[in-house]
Amino acid sequence: MSPKPLRILILGSHGGLGKALTRRLVGIGEVTSWSRADLDLSQLDLIAPKLEAQPFDVLLNPAGMTSPDICEARQDEAMIVNMEAPERLATCCQRLGRRFIHFSTDYVFDGSKTALWSEDDPTEPVNHYGKTKREGEVAVLAASPQALVARVSWLFGPDKPSHPDQIITKALEGSALTAIADKTSAPTFTHDLSDWITKLMVDHPEVCGPLHLGNEGTASWQEWGLEALKIAEEMGLPLQTNRIEPLNLAESTFFKAARPPHTTMSTARLTHLTGIQPRAWQEALRDYLHGKTALAFSLSRS
d(CA 118, CA 238): 41
| Nearest residue to 131 via CA among 123, 120, 119, 122 | 123
Left if phi > 0, otherwise alpha if psi is -120 to 50, otherwise beta: which for 118? beta
d(CA 119, CA 265): 8
Q: How large is the greatest C-alpha to C-alpha distance in the chain, in angstroms? A: 63
Q: Is 129 a catalytic residue?
A: yes
d(CA 35, CA 30): 17
| Nearest residue to 281 via CA among 209, 177, 183, 184 | 184
Catalytic residue, candidates 129, 156, 196, 224: 129
CA quadruple 156, 158, 162, 168: dihedral, nearest 10: 110
By annotation, the residues acting in catalysis are: 129
